[in-house]
Structure 1
Amino acid sequence: MTEQKQKLEQQLWNIANTLRGKMDADDFRDYILGFIFYKYLSRKMDLYANEILKPDGIIYQDAEKHPESEALLSAIKDEALDKLGYFLLPSELFSELARRGNAGGKNNFILGDLAAVLNHIEQSTMGSESEEDFGNLFEDLDLTSSKLGKSENDKNELIVKVLSHLEDIDFDIANTENDLLGDAYEYLIGKFAAGAGKSAGEFYTPQEVSSVLAKLVTTGKTKLKNVYDPTCGSGSLLLRVAKEVEEVSEFFGQESNPTTYNLCRMNMIMHNVHYKRFDIYNEDTLVNPSPKHSEMRFDAIVANPPFSANWQPDKIINDDRFSAYGKMAPKSKADFAFVQHMVHQLDDNGTMAVVLPHGVLFRGAAEGHIRKYLIEDRNYLDAVIGLPANIFYGTSIPTCILVLKKKREHTNNILFIDSSQHFEKVKTQNMLREVDINKIIDTYTNRITTDKYSYVATLQDVAENDYNLNIPRYVDTFEEEEPVDLAAVAKELKAINTDMEATNATIANFCNQLDIDTPF
């Protein structure tokens, strides 16, 4: 399985690089992921339609030639819209477009047909339950862009080449026992993030960090009613939570960037999450939260919000999410605004884990007031976990994870973990290893004090520190230097001095022989 997975990942990355020389990382990411998604939808459509037509001895690719094609395709469309959420005609399948583009070994013009097909996928959902989940999914695949080539023929030649290469790859979608393509899709998103620089943090959380967050919110649970991410990016965090339990019934998220919002919905579908089981909303979470989500409470909440982002608290004065605290997070640092939002959405028996910059642990003024309220008035803070610096794409700052619960098992203490020195350096990036992840989770689960790594602080300890959560106040990582043997140092200095005197004498002798002044 691992070998097959690695082979698929490498094949897809090689095809992605066909586009790489033409455009920057963000652009060629959108094209290649969009085309992979189109092939996935086509293959799912073909498999499902063939299943329906099997009793009639018809294959879907011949359905448009059938004497009763109109009635046949209408019936298939109705069933496909309910089961898959979209519909494609046999002539609109990926394999058919790839074949037409290469027919006769020529570069046949298919750009117009391809644009029409992608548009029709979205149109096929109009008025159906899945309309919101498929609307504008392909809007970032601009087939008229000059980035694809100077002339229409140049653009067409590049697209035909990419489609042909993708057509040669077996996505193994019929095998429901694995999620090879979903994992490969995640792999590609990660590769694009590694090359996207500062913008990477907008759509991707490194898998190792996602794993930590997912394990934290699922500790002691095998099933989740729902999971929520208010800054969901590409959806990798939401999907990671599903890997830690037997079942997640529903996925909810919000994302302000339209391109990333599309990527998230594609990612959900590519991981076989049925359109009825996820709801992703495209708006600013803090200022315009989803009306549907606002009424809900979630079993698990995970997030990697943009660090210390600007926001507009003036637009939401008297909002229930923030009013109880008596203070709003600063305009230039939205970190605690995201925490407050997540706490508001958390179910009474739920767990939330959020990645934040270290400043949230000790900054004063409004942030200090909010921090104190969460601990003293609500007693929601369960753990503070320090992560290594330079583990996120686009920023090298050290970060931390806050774990909060409304009904804590350990009501008289807060666990502090310092994992900042536990990582492996891979090229220019630091990475959490499996052993590092396991140590964090084991320490959190067993809630233990470990010398120079973790400390179970009483609420009184925290109050005495004026609710400053800076980890070194609780976890002493100071390494004592070995005592200096002054007698040995004095002896060594005396020996060095003796050697210097001998060397000076040798130099003076050479200078006398050369009849020049000595340099000392």
Structure 2
Amino acid sequence: MAEQENSKDLISVLWSGADILRSKMDANEYKNYLLGIVFYKYLSDSFMIKVYDMICDGKPESLKEALEAYMEVLQGDDAEDLRVEMKSECHYVIEPELTFTYFADAARNNSFNREQLQKGFNSIEQSDAIFADLFADIDLYSNRLGTGDQKQSDTVASLIKEIDKADLLNSDAEILGNAYEYLIGQFASETGKKAGEFYTPQPVSKILTKIAIMGQEDKKGLSVYDPCMGSGSLLLNAKKYAEFPQYIKYYGQELNTSTYNLARMNMFLHGIAVENQNLRHGDTLDEDWPTEEETDFNMVLMNPPYSAKWSAAAGFLQDERFSDYGVLAPKSKADYAFLLHGLYHLKNNGTMAIVLPHGVLFRGAAEGKIREKLLRSGNIYAVIGLPANMFYNTSIPTCIIVLKKHRDGRDVLFIDASKKFNKGKKQNEMTDEHIESVIELYSKRETVEKEAFLASFEDIEKNDFNLNIPRYVDNFEKEEDVDINALLSDMQRTDDELERVQGEFVSLMKELTSMDDTIMASLNELIKKMER
């Protein structure tokens, strides 16, 4: 197939699209264009494949063939029936002149205008509530794309031609989803500090997900919730470790509009059915959600913004999420507000895993009171110290706190994984071996010298409910004893060597001559000082 022969490796094609925009804007901006237009291609290509199957009961040789078959039916009496059928199947209908295939053809013939793509965006957004405002962050009229209609259209046309090389016809949802994940990771790396808003590095995601799903892998209809979901990557990890991924129900909330849209696209690109997506744009702390649908979940995964500010208004003391604790997380540090929100939405037999800065383990005042109440209730199950410099937006060391709703014991497992990493160019990296060693320590739940400590409630009480990991796991490496005699011998050898070199240097200086009496006098004075 010509189209298949011309297609390159999916990731490299999609990433090369970034090169077209890289000189015009920074990664945090061009990620919206690239990921949005890739997503439009996905919607268009998926529609074309399904419409061809509906018409011809099979898979097309190329998208051009699918487009021709589609256009032919639309000219006949069955046009309206086909549209109704496709709307029911896909939740949207794309007219032939708004397909990505049509756009790419126009771009190759130098007849593409960005207005066509804008119409396509509008058509999708208006077709169903699940697509509302999905492309709002893609400004096709931005001067960053060029000055004036023609230059802006040309830039978009170049991007469309590049992205069209990606062969989605012969790529399943898993391949495309993974390629999209890779792109998001690359953008996170390029964006630096702003990346914390939308991306949790995969090694951290793996640990969080493996811990939270443990013992629930075979549950049909598993529910997973991330109230600070970013691009949805952490939520989507659950499908990698579940026995029945097609039945997982995903619940997520995100404050940042661009990131929320990215998460929605990410869900579709991973083949998640519309009925299993429950995503919301909103402020997790200011307004509790969900409150009406399913409100507690088998898994709660969180990587909230660290030590963020929040209102901490007195009214929150009556909020069911926080009312049991008598105090609120401080205004300047919302860490415990996020933690309590997640715990409130956890099922009685579920598991929650949250990443937070180490300060939550030992800070006093209101945070100390909340921590003590959690420990007395047996909610804190494990504390895992991660290596420093794991995230794009901060170099501080972080920890994972694992929580459970109701259990018999009040012991806490401490794991020090701070040295389990390889040094990377920008960030430290945890390999699969590092991750597995953490999971193994977590599963065994026993004391391992210099790595893990299973602390009883009494141990913690003696430490005034301070959970700072070095209080429990001593990873101090004692230095080898110094051999004094060997050290003295080394010092003597060094002195002898210095004396020898100095003697040679004085001999060389004695050979120096000058016609200037002042210089010779200074030289002789220096030689006398060195010979003393």
The TM-score, its normalising length taken from structure 2, stands at 0.89
CA distance in 2: counterparts of 1:66 and 1:294, whole angstroms: 41
| Contact 2:9-2:166 within 8 A present in 1 as well | no
1:122 offset after TM fit, Å? 1.2
Structure 1 residues 183-202: aligned runs within 5 Å: 183-202=178-197
Check 1:323–1:506 CA distance in 2 against 1; reply closer, same or farther (3 A cut): same
Q: Which has the larger radius of gyration?
A: 2
The residue number in structure 2 matching 1:102 is 108
CA distance in 2: counterparts of 1:498 and 1:89, whole angstroms: 90
SS at structure 2 position matched to 1:518: helix
1:356 offset after TM fit, Å? 0.5
The amino acid across from 1:96 in the alignment is: Y
SS at structure 1 position matched to 2:348: strand
Check 1:6–1:299 CA distance in 2 against 1; reply closer, same or farther (3 A cut): farther
| Contact 2:16-2:162 within 8 A present in 1 as well | no
1:503 offset after TM fit, Å? 5.3
Check 1:289–1:81 CA distance in 2 against 1; reply closer, same or farther (3 A cut): farther
What is the number of equivalent residue pairs in this alignment?
503
The residue number in structure 2 matching 1:171 is 168
CA distance in 2: counterparts of 1:421 and 1:37, whole angstroms: 39
| Contact 2:49-2:169 within 8 A present in 1 as well | no
Does 1:471 pair with 2:465? no
SS at structure 1 position matched to 2:184: helix
CA distance in 1: counterparts of 2:431 and 2:189, whole angstroms: 18
The residue number in structure 2 matching 1:288 is 287
The amino acid across from 2:49 in the alignment is: L
CA distance in 2: counterparts of 1:288 and 1:84, whole angstroms: 32
| Contact 1:9-1:187 within 8 A present in 2 as well | yes
Query: Please, which moves more after superposition, 255-264 or 239-248?
Result: 239-248
From 423, 434, 437, give the equivalent of 2:435: 437
The amino acid across from 2:35 in the alignment is: L
The amino acid across from 2:244 in the alignment is: E
CA distance in 2: counterparts of 1:490 and 1:124, whole angstroms: 84
- Provide Cα deviations, 1:199-255, integer angstroms capped at 9, x if missing partner: 100000111111111101111222352100000000000001111112242100000
The residue number in structure 1 matching 2:97 is 91
Query: Please, which moves more after superposition, 273-282 or 448-457?
Result: 448-457
| Contact 1:227-1:251 within 8 A present in 2 as well | yes
Does 1:152 pair with 2:154? no
Query: Please, which moves more after superposition, 284-293 or 185-194?
Result: 284-293
1:515 offset after TM fit, Å? 3.8
1:146 offset after TM fit, Å? 0.6
Check 1:337–1:500 CA distance in 2 against 1; reply closer, same or farther (3 A cut): same
From 244, 247, 251, give the equivalent of 1:247: 244
- Provide Cα deviations, 1:304-339, integer angstroms capped at 9, x if missing partner: 100110111116341100010011001111111000
SS at structure 1 position matched to 2:320: coil
The residue number in structure 1 matching 2:231 is 234
The residue number in structure 1 matching 2:41 is 39
Identical aligned pairs, as a percentage? 41
CA distance in 2: counterparts of 1:78 and 1:99, whole angstroms: 27
| Contact 1:508-1:518 within 8 A present in 2 as well | no
1:93 offset after TM fit, Å? 1.0
1:27 offset after TM fit, Å? 1.3
The amino acid across from 1:381 in the alignment is: I
1:442 offset after TM fit, Å? 0.8
From 116, 119, 124, give the equivalent of 1:121: 124
| Contact 2:73-2:79 within 8 A present in 1 as well | no
Query: Please, which moves more after superposition, 209-218 or 503-512?
Result: 503-512
Does 1:356 pair with 2:356? yes
1:168 offset after TM fit, Å? 2.3
| Contact 1:321-1:341 within 8 A present in 2 as well | yes
CA distance in 2: counterparts of 1:500 and 1:47, whole angstroms: 82
From 202, 206, 223, give the equivalent of 1:211: 206
From 439, 453, 456, give the equivalent of 2:454: 456
- Provide Cα deviations, 1:469-510, integer angstroms capped at 9, x if missing partner: 111101101111111222333343344445555556666666
- Provide Cα deviations, 1:103-147, integer angstroms capped at 9, x if missing partner: 3xxx2142112111110111122xxxxx1x210001111111111
Check 1:460–1:480 CA distance in 2 against 1; reply closer, same or farther (3 A cut): same
Query: Please, which moves more after superposition, 161-170 or 27-36?
Result: 161-170
| Contact 1:61-1:91 within 8 A present in 2 as well | no
The residue number in structure 2 matching 1:297 is 296
CA distance in 2: counterparts of 1:138 and 1:189, whole angstroms: 17
- Provide Cα deviations, 1:52-99, integer angstroms capped at 9, x if missing partner: 222699955444444764x63432333333332222122221101111
Check 1:509–1:101 CA distance in 2 against 1; reply closer, same or farther (3 A cut): closer
1:398 offset after TM fit, Å? 0.5
1:6 offset after TM fit, Å? 9.6
CA distance in 2: counterparts of 1:67 and 1:139, whole angstroms: 30
Check 1:88–1:499 CA distance in 2 against 1; reply closer, same or farther (3 A cut): closer
| Contact 1:372-1:467 within 8 A present in 2 as well | yes
The residue number in structure 2 matching 1:341 is 341
The residue number in structure 2 matching 1:53 is 55
| Contact 2:212-2:353 within 8 A present in 1 as well | yes
Structure 1 residues 65-84: aligned runs within 5 Å: 65-66=72-73, 69=76, 72-84=78-90
CA distance in 1: counterparts of 2:37 and 2:56, whole angstroms: 28
| Contact 2:103-2:112 within 8 A present in 1 as well | no
From 136, 141, 144, give the equivalent of 2:138: 141
SS at structure 2 position matched to 1:391: coil
1:396 offset after TM fit, Å? 0.6
The residue number in structure 2 matching 1:128 is none
From 379, 404, 414, give the equivalent of 1:416: 414
From 98, 112, 115, give the equivalent of 2:115: 112
Check 1:60–1:479 CA distance in 2 against 1; reply closer, same or farther (3 A cut): same
SS at structure 1 position matched to 2:356: strand
CA distance in 1: counterparts of 2:175 and 2:506, whole angstroms: 78
Check 1:187–1:495 CA distance in 2 against 1; reply closer, same or farther (3 A cut): closer
| Contact 1:53-1:59 within 8 A present in 2 as well | no
The residue number in structure 2 matching 1:258 is 257
Query: Please, which moves more after superposition, 430-439 or 75-84?
Result: 75-84
The amino acid across from 2:387 in the alignment is: P
Does 1:320 pair with 2:323? no
Check 1:198–1:114 CA distance in 2 against 1; reply closer, same or farther (3 A cut): same
CA distance in 1: counterparts of 2:157 and 2:480, whole angstroms: 67
The amino acid across from 2:25 in the alignment is: M
Query: Please, which moves more after superposition, 36-45 or 446-455?
Result: 446-455
| Contact 1:311-1:334 within 8 A present in 2 as well | yes
CA distance in 2: counterparts of 1:307 and 1:118, whole angstroms: 35
SS at structure 2 position matched to 1:301: strand
SS at structure 2 position matched to 1:426: coil
SS at structure 2 position matched to 1:430: coil
The residue number in structure 2 matching 1:406 is 405
Query: Please, which moves more after superposition, 321-330 or 77-86?
Result: 77-86
Check 1:498–1:289 CA distance in 2 against 1; reply closer, same or farther (3 A cut): same
| Contact 1:64-1:90 within 8 A present in 2 as well | yes
